Amino acid sequence: MSEPHPTIRPQPGILEIALYQGGESRLPGHDRVLKLSSNENPFGPSPAALAAFRDAAASLHRYPNTDHADLRAAIAEVHGLDPARIVCGVGSDEIIAFLAQAYAGPGTEVIHTEHGFGMYRISALAAGATPVEVREAERRTDVDAILAAATGRTALVFVANPNNPTGTMIAQAEVARLAAGLPPQALLVLDGAYAEFVGGFDGHAGLVEARDDVVMTRTFSKIHGLGGLRVGWGYGPAHVIDVLNRVRGPFNLSSPALAAAEAAVRDTAWTTRCFEENRANRARLRADLATVGVPCDESHANFLLARFRDPAEAQACDRALREDGIIVRRVAGYKLPAALRITVGDAEACARVAEAVGRFMQVRA
């Protein structure tokens, strides 16, 4: 990290940002690395999405569509939404950044929970706002704690449901109570990056449509397997979407990304297959870890938060897994130093990581 310049200074808050650390993908000395650190879909994108991506290569000399009309129409058709109230971005991260850019700033506060996604704090600081971290209750969002922290300065409240990195989820009635209890100038942002892993769940779209102060964000990086293309979207009141489109760059998504995402969301059979595989493998992995003495909260996402006796044991297990060629995610930066986040892979991957953790725990016994 370089030293600040004596006279050329960035906006307040930016130098307080710690660089976001993504999941590792390589281990020196290992050719057969099992990456379970980034919550990627082990089955990859749908064949239809891959075909659409390849077809789009013939038009790389053309600028992409600026209004994302075809992708918005596909999302609206599949999810039963109003396409005019959808905005697309470079991952849901960009939607989060747009919201902070447009609604937060110096003198305002942005609430997030203690184990919440790191981009909430980063986006708040980048906008010059003050991040306000609120405690969770046993790794679950605490609505009462958020309401107690909200003030006349609160501009945004970010809640991931299901949450990352915990995988826990609160009931829709609790989310509705939160929305109803916030001060009138505050916008509630519900991060639904993992919503597709919850059966029969609309990601709180119904709440968005019932109110004028709630926004939902979603991503194509998880169940749709398009993390490498970076496509996300938001759904909100017309007045919010209008504002976000004013700060959005006209060509923020490439033509191949738009084509692949449209094909991916329309391939509901592939999405259903990935959902079913994840549900079965997640339950099996959780049971296998519990058998060897490593508990996990019930997860509603495509990962498990494996809890150990103390930070030293979690770090030792991580080292043992790396020696076996397995990469999981340390989450001490999320104030969970005695835990490891493990992506749910395919059946073979889940068996491999469960066996490796079992061997480690047997040695520690």
| Per-residue tokens: 236 | 């909100």
Length reported for the chain: 365
Map residue 74 onto helix, strand or coil: helix
Mean pLDDT score across all residues of the chain:
95
Measured from the Cβ of residue 365, the count of other Cβ atoms closer than 10 Å reads: 7
27 pLDDT more than 80 = no
pLDDT at residue 23 in the model: 65
Backbone angles phi, psi at 352, to 5 degrees: -65, -45
What is the band of 30 on the pLDDT scale with cuts at 50, 70, 90? confident
User: CA 294 to CA 356: how far, in whole Å?
Assistant: 12
pLDDT at residue 3 in the model: 82
Measured from the Cβ of residue 261, the count of other Cβ atoms closer than 10 Å reads: 29
What is the band of 364 on the pLDDT scale with cuts at 50, 70, 90? confident
**Least confidently predicted of 24-38, 66-80, 212-226, 348-362:** 24-38
Tens-digit pLDDT profile for residues 332-346: 999 999 999 999 999
16 pLDDT more than 90 = no
The stretch 276-299 carries a mean pLDDT of 98
The stretch 108-115 carries a mean pLDDT of 97
What is the band of 322 on the pLDDT scale with cuts at 50, 70, 90? very high
Token match 């979603």: residue? 218
Residue 216 DSSP label: E
Q: What percent of the chain has pLDDT over 70?
A: 98
DSSP letter string, 291-320 = HTT--BPPPSSSEEEEE-SSHHHHHHHHHH
pLDDT at residue 1 in the model: 65
| Contact (CB, 8 A) for 309 and 297 | no
User: CA 285 to CA 354: how far, in whole Å?
Assistant: 7
Tens-digit pLDDT profile for residues 212-256: 999 999 999 999 999 999 999 999 999 999 999 999 999 999 999
pLDDT at residue 25 in the model: 65
What is the band of 7 on the pLDDT scale with cuts at 50, 70, 90? confident
The b/e string for 158-193 (b: 16+ C-beta within 10 A; e otherwise) is bbbbbbbbbbbbbeeebbbebbeebeeebbbbbbbb
Tens-digit pLDDT profile for residues 261-275: 999 999 999 999 999
| Contact (CB, 8 A) for 179 and 207 | yes
Q: Which of 331, 323, 274, 335 is nearest to 306 (CA)?
A: 331
